[in-house]
């Protein structure tokens, strides 16, 4: 109760804590697959290299939502986008454990990627716009906490309960609970994102720009930077999931 009182008194502190937790949650699924894959492929009776198909669909979803994150932020607002993304990711992760066929899990990978990409891009944009570069470093460190904790959760499920499904259900449930937290704090996100009426000529924040997508696509340097970022992100996530 004391913590909740502090959060209500200092709403920015609450948003920062929630952003850190969200990035921990973002890293959790990336740490599950590498440990759980041997059991997953045996359960679905698929070859070892079938993981490539699954990773491809996750990355397609991730890149799509990352690319459209500016449009989504301008239409939905950061709080609503994060709530919807966490819920989508959580449902997809739990769905992995319920589907009877491998192709269904591959299909759900698209939705898991869509949710993860929107969370990543949305939080990065919001923190860069409102809190600066220093906090960004700690935000990304939180992802490291998540990807380190994921294998521990999966190992517990495999050794204690003899099932890979436990790990995905725990992380999926955590994502849905996080979505509920974003819904409960929507007013804080909207209030912190509202333009100041005291200074009409105040410096624009990153989330204030409404650059059309077509104009962005006409900038070669932006296309090159986006392609390089997506490639690096794809390599890093595939490495993390396969380890």
Cα 80 to chain centroid distance, Å, stands at: 14
Number of C-beta neighbours around residue 57 at 10 A: 18
How many Å apart are CA 191 and CA 59, to the nearest integer?
33
Under CATH, which number does the domain 9-192 receive? 1.20.1250.20
With beta carbons less than 8 A apart as the criterion, state whether 96 and 39 touch. no
Residue 3, classified by CB atoms within 10 Å of its CB into exposed (0-12), middle (13-18) or buried (19+), is exposed
Q: In the chain, what are the domain boundaries?
A: 9-192
What gap in Å lies between CA 72 and CA 79, rounded to an integer? 11
List the pLDDT tens digit at each of the 243 positions of the chain.
454 454 455 557 778 888 899 999 999 999 999 999 999 999 999 999 999 999 999 999 998 998 888 888 888 888 899 999 999 999 999 999 999 999 999 999 999 999 999 998 888 888 888 777 778 888 888 999 999 999 999 999 999 999 999 999 999 999 999 999 999 988 888 765 555 444 444 455 545 545 555 655 555 555 555 555 555 555 555 555 555
The pTM score is: 0.80
Residue-wise burial string across 151-176, b where 16 or more C-beta atoms lie within 10 A, e elsewhere: bebbeebbeeeeebbbbbbbbbebbb
Nearest CA among 27, 85, 35 for reference residue 61: 85
């Amino acid at each position: 109760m004391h913590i909740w009182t502090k959060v209500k008194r200092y709403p920015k502190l609450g948003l920062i804590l929630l952003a850190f937790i969200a990035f921990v949650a973002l890293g959790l699924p990336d740490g599950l697959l590498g440990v759980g894959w041997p059991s997953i492929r045996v359960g679905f009776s698929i070859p070892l290299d079938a993981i490539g198909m699954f990773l491809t669909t996750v990355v397609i979803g991730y890149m799509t939502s990352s690319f459209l994150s500016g449009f989504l932020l301008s239409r939905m607002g950061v709080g609503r986008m994060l709530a919807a993304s966490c819920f989508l990711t959580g449902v997809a992760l739990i769905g992995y454990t319920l589907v009877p066929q491998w192709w269904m899990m591959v299909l759900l990978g698209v939705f898991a990627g869509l949710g993860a990409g929107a969370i990543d891009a949305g939080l990065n944009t919001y923190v860069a716009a409102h809190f600066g570069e220093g906090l960004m470093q700690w935000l990304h460190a939180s992802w490291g906490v998540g990807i380190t904790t994921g294998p521990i959760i999966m190992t517990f499920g495999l050794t204690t309960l003899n099932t890979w499904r436990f790990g995905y259900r725990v992380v999926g449930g955590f994502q849905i609970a996080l979505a509920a937290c974003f819904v409960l704090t929507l007013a804080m996100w909207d209030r912190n994102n509202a333009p100041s009426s005291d200074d009409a000529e105040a410096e624009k924040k990153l989330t204030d720009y409404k650059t059309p997508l077509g104009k962005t696509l006409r900038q070669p340097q932006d296309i090159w930077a986006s392609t390089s970022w997506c490639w690096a992100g794809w390599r890093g996530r595939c490495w993390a999931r396969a380890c």
